Amino acid sequence: MLSTNEIQMDSSYSSLITDDRCRCHSNDELYKSNVCQTRKTFSVNLPLLSYSFLIRLVNRAFNLYSNFTLHTKQNLIITDDFDLDGCIMNQTDEHNLEFIVNQYDIDDWCIIEDDTTDNFELIEIDNHCTLVTIKSICNRHETLLQKATNWLHGSVNTLLNNYLTKKEFFQMLDSSTGRLLNEDLLRQRIYDNGCEQSIRKIVWCYLFRIFNQTMTNEDKIQYTVKAKERYNEMKQAWQSKQESEIMILENLIQKDVTRTDSSVKFFGNKKNLSRQKLQHILMTYCVYHPEPGYAQGMTDMAAPILYVIRDEALAYACFCALMRYMTPLFHSDGIAINRRLDLLRKTIQAIDIELWNKIEQCDISNLMFAYRWLLLDCKREFPFKDICSVFETLWASLPIDRFELNNNTYSDVDDLCPSSICSYRHISMISSITNTILSSHSYSSIAEENQSEHSSIDGCDSGYRDEQISTIGDLNINYSQQDNITITSCIPLEKWLKNFSNIDNEYDYSDMFTIFLSIALLEQNRSSIMQVSTINIDNDDCIGYYFTRLVRQNDAKQALKLARNYHKQYVVFQMRIKQLLMSNN
């Protein structure tokens, strides 16, 4: 019997796409001369590609038990790595490289007795699309020499945990103008390892896009001066008002500010008036942003920013940038937070079904123990000294446009956005003030007596609403915005990712690092969770009770390591799936 197969490779995305036509099945089309054709598409890490690998892949993917030849559509026969490299270098299609496999029977056939020594795995997306990934090193067969080498020198796949240093950061700036030379590289370094405390202030300004790649040293100084002038005008405007709305809001924020990070020396030092600065930042933000106004938890997010930035006006600008990303989570409709809860539920089921079954058995409040994690990006789960590393890693993982401006000209000025503040005219103060709660009567939702008991983030049973969650559609990722995370294509991909083969929407993508950070918290405490017994426990949320006792005590370093691992796999998988489906079509 003779059957043919086509293999298509995508070199630009470091992936392999194959077109399989091999081995007759009942649903195959049978041609004259007893030729049978089927078609499949594969995505493969290009660095994996060798002649030996290709032979093994064809054998495994098409379940062959006979000899075959491999050649191009131009009838160039592939017999070794030299031929294969020539095909890759001379491909006419920028994205695809195709091969044909001719199968034939010979008595002395012998190729691969078993696939246990293969260093790759197949993740089938559907009947015609398969993703090929390198095996995780923990699942890969190693020789005695490899084991000895790894023991002596450590695994070559282990990433050095080197923070971005002050010296390295200043090498990223133009020596004459002070412009940042490569913003993507900076974000990548922060994502991988974080930065030294001594440069955290300026690095965070870049992460929040308060400083951008086009700004010189003079531009940054000019912006800082103008931002301070504008901020002081905004602050004085509401301080001079005596309306009841202002007084209600001020009392509400003051109560939360007093409780926020009270054990941190910076906020207990009356000399630098840190708590007063924090209150001013939140008051100014809420006055000039009546939607969403103030919500419990905002103090948690503003405090680390003020701790790092120290300058009140710059800290305000950074907080406004953060809220452009986080505002939906504080919205009263609950859609964004419910979406995160749904994503967490889906991800736990995909990664660790046994753990999910235990959680389902113990937790009758629908993951309410994780509500605080998802609302505050796990801020209260780690020691304050570690939360800066957690936050900067998360922010660097986001698409760069998450902190970009909207089209609201009032908000652009009120947020101290560089493009608006440097061309700021004094007259804008008049129009801007009319868009604040100073002239709004819809402030009642901020009154303390009207806050729902479900809005508390201090307890475990809080905040969940049963509104309809938005339908999850295809995620049309703008990869030009996400390439700031340049991830090696040969990251081992695990089979739990099959549950995310339908590319989700862009908001799901932005939420995923927080989701994986939550997964890391669960995995760190997995053995304890699995031993939880619901017998003779009055609390109906025993898992929530367990994590309440661990507030600010979890291991941030290990959690970040695990979250990065999951997140890198997810990003690479989504990119390769999109490219695979595009090529297949």
Residue 36's pLDDT is what?
53
Q: Report the alpha-carbon distance of residue 296 to residue 330 in Å, rounded.
A: 8
Domain ranges of the chain: 23-158, 333-406+489-533+540-584
Are the CB atoms for 312 and 231 separated by under 8 Å? yes
Q: Report the alpha-carbon distance of residue 15 to residue 10 in Å, rounded.
A: 5
The CATH code for residues 23-158 is: 3.10.290
Please name the residues in contact with 28: beta carbons below 8 A apart, sequence gap of 6 or more.
Answer: 36, 37, 38
In three-state form (DSSP H/G/I as H, E/B as E, the rest C), the secondary structure along 457-470 is CCCCCCCCCCCCCC
Are the CB atoms for 412 and 432 separated by under 8 Å? no
Helix or strand or coil: residue 345?
helix
Do the domains 23-158 and 333-406+489-533+540-584 sit in the same CATH topology, yes or no?
no
Nearest Cα to 311, choosing from 178, 202, 429, 164?
Answer: 202
* End-to-end CA, the chain: 30
φ and ψ of 143, to 5 deg: -75, 165
DSSP state letters, 224-287? HHHHHHHHHHHHHHHHT---HHHHHHHHHHHHHHHHTTTTSHHHH-TTTTHHHHHHHHHHHHHH
Residue 395's pLDDT is what?
97
Residue 116's pLDDT is what?
55
Global pTM value: 0.80
Give per-10-residue mean pLDDT for the chain (585 aa).
47 38 37 55 77 84 76 83 83 73 62 60 79 68 49 45 91 96 95 96 96 94 95 94 90 94 86 89 94 92 97 97 94 93 94 93 82 96 97 94 64 77 45 46 40 46 32 31 43 84 68 96 94 64 87 96 94 84 71
The CATH code for residues 333-406+489-533+540-584 is: 1.10.472.80
Q: Report the alpha-carbon distance of residue 6 to residue 71 in Å, rounded.
A: 9
Are the CB atoms for 224 and 416 separated by under 8 Å? no
Q: Report the alpha-carbon distance of residue 348 to residue 569 in Å, rounded.
A: 15
